[in-house]
Amino acid sequence: MKLKVALVYDRVNTPYGGAEKVLLALNRAFPEAPLYTSVYHPRAKWASVFEIKTSFLQKIPFANKLHRFLVPLMPLAFESFDFSEYDIVISITSAEAKGIITQPHQLHLCYLLTPTRYLYSHRDHYEQTHWPFKIPVLRFLSRKIFDYLTWWDKVAAQRPDIIIPISNLVKSRAEEHYQRQLEETIYPPFDPEELEPNKDVENFAPYYLPKEYLLVISRLVPYKRIDLAIQACQRLNKSLVIIGEGPAAAQLKKISSSKVHFLGNVTTTQRQAIIDQSQAVIMPGLEDFGITAIEIILSSKPIILHAKSGASELIKDEPGAILLKRLSISELTTAIKKSNKLKLPNASLKKKFSKYAINDFTALFKSTAVEFYNTKREGYS
């Protein structure tokens, strides 16, 4: 019997990143599966391979750009989807997609990117930095909304039949918040084809790159702590190149000198060429996993990474990984100085990490989903 599968993701309105790599890998495993989401924006060009099915929120003007203002409606958006025609529904989520409603004979498998940041680990930051919390009347209302969303999120986390985390960090965090047991971790994939060196350096001639530079590849959001990378490089008078876009871009540019170069989003080919010419890559924020860290190690470049990030579970013993135990400018400057002396063996690394490549991930994920579905079906019948 051919199983009908659907994928569900929180929102499809951002450029290509780690979560999007997971979705494209799952598209390889289940090429006929449609992708359900709250809102969709055409700038998410990576999603062109999917049949996109949006919620009623898509009909609201500018919802696909201003989805943060519609957070109170997100639970209803996902609960309103009808999945009755599917055998397996896979939610890939760091927010509300796990709250979909399925029927007893179906398998709902949740691939958990992290418990919702703005409700748990980063709630204090949101309350301190977002304007509704700075106005007394709105502050009271906003906190009530957050309290409701936290209650709903805990209820929603009980709906999946199984939850598979992307790292042991996410597993322990989720088990604490949701008070339920998660399955064993399946680490997200990297694509070896994206790591091929670019021999045609003219492809990225439009970008002004200094001869020597450190590199950040990230969405520009506060919890990534790119501000620390900027300040550490400026203290050492080193050039820093930043690939990525996000809501924190304007603030980061305000604290940056002329030696910090913001490139925005670049192509995969340009990205790899820029990596190949960098001295080291900096990822100071606490990452739920951090696929980029694996890609950097396999590109024979040093990676400076938060010691508790999910990727550190795989690369903590590698000579090219410098793990930050404290988030401070002084520790980061020390790590940058140390990175100049590191050399990475490439061949042995590729062999070690080959089991985390995209083809192995898709095969493992597909077999895991089918196995859990068959087990549930036997129990249901």
Residues 178 and 306 in one domain: no
Residues 274 and 323 in one domain: yes
Residues 300 and 333 in one domain: yes
Residues 226 and 154 in one domain: no
Of 142-146, 239-243, 328-332, give the lowest mean pLDDT range. Answer: 142-146
Residues 171 and 185 in one domain: yes
Token pair, residue 234, equals 């400026």
pLDDT > 90? residue 196? no
Number of domains in the chain: 2
137-154 pLDDT, tens digit per residue, is: 666 777 788 899 999 999
Residue range 287-307: mean pLDDT, rounded: 93
Residues 296 and 364 in one domain: no
pLDDT > 80? residue 207? no
Q: pLDDT class for 206, splitting at 50, 70, 90?
A: very low
CA 143/CA 269 separation, integer angstroms = 44
Q: What's the pLDDT at 316?
A: 83
Residue range 319-345: mean pLDDT, rounded: 88
89-148 pLDDT, tens digit per residue, is: 999 999 999 999 999 999 999 999 999 988 887 666 665 565 565 666 666 777 788 899
Q: What's the pLDDT at 355?
A: 86
pLDDT > 60? residue 203? no
Residues 163 and 258 in one domain: no
Q: pLDDT class for 202, splitting at 50, 70, 90?
A: very low
Rounded to two decimals, the pTM is 0.92
pLDDT > 80? residue 348? no
Alpha helices by DSSP H, 6-122: 18-29, 74-79
Of 7-11, 164-168, 198-202, 305-309, give the lowest mean pLDDT range. Answer: 198-202
Residue range 235-257: mean pLDDT, rounded: 95
Half-sphere exposure of 20 (CA within 13 A, CB side): 17
Residues 334 and 351 in one domain: yes
Residues contacting residue 131 through CB under 8 Å, at least 6 positions apart: none
CATH code for position 261: 3.40.50.2000
How far from 13 is each of 18, 39, 137, CA to CA, in Å? 14, 7, 31
Q: What's the pLDDT at 345?
A: 59
CA 4/CA 102 separation, integer angstroms = 14
Range of the domain at 75: 5-189+359-380
pLDDT > 70? residue 223? yes
> In this predicted model, which residue has the larger pLDDT, 73 or 67?
73
Residues 177 and 199 in one domain: no
